[in-house]
């Protein structure tokens, strides 16, 4: 179907509808329940406090432990470091 000036209507749009454009998706629909829970938990703790806690956990494990770390423990500590860096970027 063409308009009076010869342009064709978009087949995906509803003619005459004020809000024909689709609304933006809500983030809560894109995240799993566990991801939403993690974000809510980080929000309530206040991100800087969470970052400091993760850094403290990391440093105590590396610098104050008398036990040698195996590869799995080193990988876990690297993941903790990555987590606090991501949280820091969110708060910037």
User: Would you state the pLDDT for residue 58?
Assistant: 93
pTM for this entry? 0.57
Q: Which of the 8 DSSP states describes residue 19?
A: T
Highest mean predicted confidence (pLDDT) among 25-29, 77-81, 86-90: 77-81
8 A C-beta contact, residue 71 and residue 34: no
Give the model confidence (pLDDT) of 50-66 as tens digits: 899 999 999 999 998 88
Percent of the chain beyond pLDDT 70? Answer: 65
- Whole-angstrom distance, CA of residue 74 vs CA of residue 81: 11
- Inform me whether the pLDDT recorded for 82 exceeds 90: yes
């Amino acid at each position: 179907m063409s308009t009076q000036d010869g342009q064709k209507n978009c087949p995906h749009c509803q003619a005459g509808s004020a809000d024909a454009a689709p609304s933006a998706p809500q983030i809560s629909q894109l995240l799993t329940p566990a991801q939403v829970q993690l974000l809510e938990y980080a929000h309530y703790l206040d991100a800087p406090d969470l970052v400091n806690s993760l850094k403290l956990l990391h440093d105590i494990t590396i610098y104050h432990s008398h036990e040698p770390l195996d590869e799995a423990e080193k990988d876990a500590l690297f993941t903790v470091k990555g987590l606090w860096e991501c949280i820091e970027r969110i708060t910037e």
